[in-house]
Amino acid sequence: MPVDGSTLNKNNTGGLLQNLSALLPIGKTGEYGIILSGNGASGGFTNDPRNFVQVKIAILLPDHLGGYQMGTEQLISDPYINGTQSILVTDFNADGTPDIFMSAENEMPFILKPSIAYMSDGSGKYKKVTLADSVINHSAMLVFIDGKPTVVATAYPLDDTIAGRGTTNAIYTFENGAFKIQSTQYINGVASGTLGRFGANGELEMIRGDVVSGWNGKSWTAMNIVVYPFDGKDVNVSKPIQTIVPYLSTLPEYKDFPANIGGKGLTHTFQLWAIELNNDGHLDVLAGETMWSSANTNFPSALQVLINNGDGTFKDETARLNSTMSLNVEQIDYNPTFLDIDNSGIQTLFFGSQNFYATQRQSNYLILNDGSGQLHVGLHDEFQDLAKQATSFVNSQYQQQGFSTNPDVFFPKFIAVPQPNGDVNYVAIVNAGHWYDTAKTLWQDQNFLVNMPIAFNPTTDFKKNIVMSDRNHSTLMRTWAGNDSFYANNASTSSAHIDGGLGIDKSIYSSSIKNFAIKGTSANTFEVKTNSTLTSSKISDTLVNVERLVFTDSSLALDLAGNAGIAVKLIAAVFGKDAIANKNFVGIGLDLLDKGMSYDNLGTLALGAAGATTSDAIVSLLWRNVVGSVASAADKAPFIQLLDAGMSGGELVHLAADTVFNTNQVNLVGLAVTGIEYTPL
Q: What is the smallest separation between the CB atom of 124 and Ca ion, expressed in angstroms?
A: 11
Q: What is the smallest separation between the CB atom of 329 and Ca ion, expressed in angstroms?
A: 26
Distance between CA atoms of residues 517 and 356, nearest Å: 58
Instruction: Identify residue 379 by its one-letter amino acid code.
Output: L
Q: Which is nearer to Ca ion, 32 or 299 (CB)?
A: 32
Q: Which is nearer to Ca ion, 93 or 492 (CB)?
A: 93
Q: Which is nearer to Ca ion, 237 or 544 (CB)?
A: 544
Phi-psi region of 675 (alpha: psi -120 to 50; beta: other; left: phi over 0): left
E strand or H helix that includes residue 70: strand 68-70
Distance between CA atoms of residues 337 and 654, nearest Å: 49
Entry field: residues in the chain: 681
Bridge partner residues of 271 (DSSP): 288
Q: What is the smallest separation between the CB atom of 553 and Ca ion, expressed in angstroms?
A: 24
**Residue ranges in contact with Ca ion by CB under 5 A:** 91, 93, 95, 97, 99, 120, 278, 280, 282, 284, 308, 479, 484, 500-501, 503, 505, 545
Q: What is the smallest separation between the CB atom of 338 and Ca ion, expressed in angstroms?
A: 14
Q: Which is nearer to Ca ion, 99 or 594 (CB)?
A: 99
Distance between CA atoms of residues 423 and 417, nearest Å: 9
Q: Exposed, middle or buried by CB within 10 Å (0-12, 13-18, 19+), for 513?
A: middle
In the bound complex, which residue of the shown chain has the CB atom lying closest to Ca ion?
503
Q: What is the smallest separation between the CB atom of 163 and Ca ion, expressed in angstroms?
A: 32
Q: What is the smallest separation between the CB atom of 463 and Ca ion, expressed in angstroms?
A: 9
Q: Give 218's contacts (C-beta < 8 A, 6+ positions apart).
A: none
Instruction: Identify residue 291 by its one-letter amino acid code.
Output: M
Q: What is the smallest separation between the CB atom of 99 and Ca ion, expressed in angstroms?
A: 4
Q: Which is nearer to Ca ion, 121 or 231 (CB)?
A: 121
CB 68 within 8 A of CB 84: no
- Edge-to-edge strand ranges of the sheet holding 84-90: 84-90, 99-104, 116-120, 126-130
Query: What crossing angle do the helices spanning 615-626 and 563-575 adopt, rounded to 10°?
Result: 110
What is the SS3 assignment for 302-371? EEEEEEECCCCCEEECHHHHCCCCCCCCCCCCCCCEEECCCCCCCCEEEECCCEECCHHHCCCEEEEECC
Q: What is the smallest separation between the CB atom of 120 and Ca ion, expressed in angstroms?
A: 4
Q: Which is nearer to Ca ion, 24 or 622 (CB)?
A: 24
CB 649 within 8 A of CB 643: yes
Q: Which is nearer to Ca ion, 363 or 475 (CB)?
A: 475
Cα 91 to Cα 62, 145, 291: the distances in Å are 20, 14, 35
Cα 109 to Cα 105, 116, 136, 162: the distances in Å are 10, 19, 10, 10
Q: Which is nearer to Ca ion, 282 or 380 (CB)?
A: 282
Q: Which is nearer to Ca ion, 278 or 604 (CB)?
A: 278
Q: Exposed, middle or buried by CB within 10 Å (0-12, 13-18, 19+), for 263?
A: middle
Q: What is the smallest separation between the CB atom of 501 and Ca ion, expressed in angstroms?
A: 4
Q: Which is nearer to Ca ion, 155 or 498 (CB)?
A: 498
Q: Which is nearer to Ca ion, 257 or 480 (CB)?
A: 480
Q: What is the smallest separation between the CB atom of 102 and Ca ion, expressed in angstroms?
A: 15
Q: Give 137's contacts (C-beta < 8 A, 6+ positions apart).
A: 85, 86, 103, 104, 105, 115, 153, 154, 155, 156, 170
Distance between CA atoms of residues 24 and 34, nearest Å: 6
Q: Which is nearer to Ca ion, 557 or 626 (CB)?
A: 557
Q: What is the smallest separation between the CB atom of 92 and Ca ion, expressed in angstroms?
A: 6
Q: What is the smallest separation between the CB atom of 281 and Ca ion, expressed in angstroms?
A: 7
Q: Which is nearer to Ca ion, 97 or 249 (CB)?
A: 97
Distance between CA atoms of residues 509 and 486, nearest Å: 9
Q: What is the smallest separation between the CB atom of 505 and Ca ion, expressed in angstroms?
A: 4
Residue 639: count of CB within 10 angstroms of its CB: 21
Q: Which of 194, 145, 204, 137 is nearest to 165 (CA)?
A: 137
